[in-house]
Amino acid sequence: MSRLVSSLVLVLAASSLPAVAADWSDESDFRGSYLNEPKDWSGMGDPDDEVGFEFGMRYWYSMGTQTFGDSRGDVVANSQTHSGEVHLRVDDYASRSYVKGVAGYSAVITGDYANPYGKDGDIVDGNITYAGGDFGWNTFGDGEGSGIGLFAGYQYWNDSPRTMRSNFVTAQSAGDLTVNSDGTINFPGDSSETWLETQSLRLGISGRARLGGMFDISGELAAVPISKVQGAIASWGNLDTTPLGNPLYVKTSTTTVDGWGYGAMGEMMLGVTPLENLTFRVGGRAWYLTGTYDARYSAAYITDPVDTDSDGIYNGDADEPPGFSNQSYIETQNPFSLFRYGLLAELTYAF
């Protein structure tokens, strides 16, 4: 009897399998193949979604000029760069607000530089790096990302084309100097290169408008009410041995930059969407900062060792070591400016 009951249960179970399989095929929530678009994987991108995403890559060909003045004149660097960057934007359509971020790095830098120290040359590399983020509100918008409104944000910008290096003495006292047999002096040294970074507050207006089904235009204009500027600039220096009978004035540190500035930043782009959710944009961008900075450095007078022999000829037995007098300096209210502008291209996916 028990075997008969077991057999009936198996038959009934087997007969019900096709119906269950049909139910899975018709009503399951399984995702499609990997060939589907990202918006389909996430279940987002429908017309009634309240959140929209954009991410992509950009190419920026830019030309730039940086000028730093001090008591001896202006140090000027002109450069051309090729930069790649990534960007992300998230729109909350319900509140008409958005957040966005961008980060970029230069791949190639060329140009030239000039300074009042008689050392001009070419720029062959360096570092242009930037990153930042904004929070905006489409004050007048359609609830789908188009409109015009206000934003506030932060931007880090390192603008450091490689120019001349600055030599300086690392000795801090006469005990760090060595005397040759002919009375000339050797001293330890080092060098540094120009590097500049800024951290800026951005306040501005941004807007975007759709021009039919395929085209859009977007732009932003930001005031920079305050920007912190720090770094170092290549300046004069001498690491030759001290000529006998002549005091030598040498730098004993690099020249550091510490200042504040202000300026403006803007960009505008025209976009076309040949495929659903995929947009290509081209346009331009410009950044400008100006202000003043303090230049800090130290320098020393180095004099020859003293030999009191009656013949007056140094023969390696100095009675007194070289003289060394080090002092710190600060030059205030030096003017500076940074300007970078060029063509911008973007490939963006949106959902």
SS3 95: coil
Mean pLDDT over 193-208 rounds to: 95
pLDDT at 101: 97
Kindly report, residue by residue over 155-175, the tens digit of the pLDDT. Answer: 999 999 998 788 888 888 888
The residue whose two tokens read 């030239």 is 112
pLDDT at 241: 56
Kindly report, residue by residue over 247-304, the tens digit of the pLDDT. Answer: 688 888 988 999 999 999 999 999 999 998 899 999 999 999 999 999 999 988 888 7
Structure tokens at 348: 């963006």
pTM (predicted TM-score):
0.79
pLDDT at 168: 87
Q: How many CB atoms lie within 10 A of CB 81?
A: 25
Candidates 133, 128, 150; CA nearest to 201 is: 133
Kindly report, residue by residue over 175-191, the tens digit of the pLDDT. Answer: 888 877 777 788 888 88
- Of the pLDDT bands very low, low, confident and very high (cuts 50, 70, 90), residue 8 is very low
Kindly report, residue by residue over 93-110, the tens digit of the pLDDT. Answer: 888 899 999 999 997 999
> Where does the chain show beta strands of DSSP type E?
51-70, 73-92, 97-114, 121-123, 126-141, 147-161, 165-169, 178-179, 185-186, 189-193, 195-211, 215-233, 248-251, 255-275, 278-303, 323-350
3 contacts: CB under 8 Å, gap ≥ 6: none
- Topology of domain 55-350, CATH: Lipocalin (2.40.128)
**28 half-sphere exposure, CB direction, 13 A CA radius:** 9
Mean pLDDT over 56-80 rounds to: 91
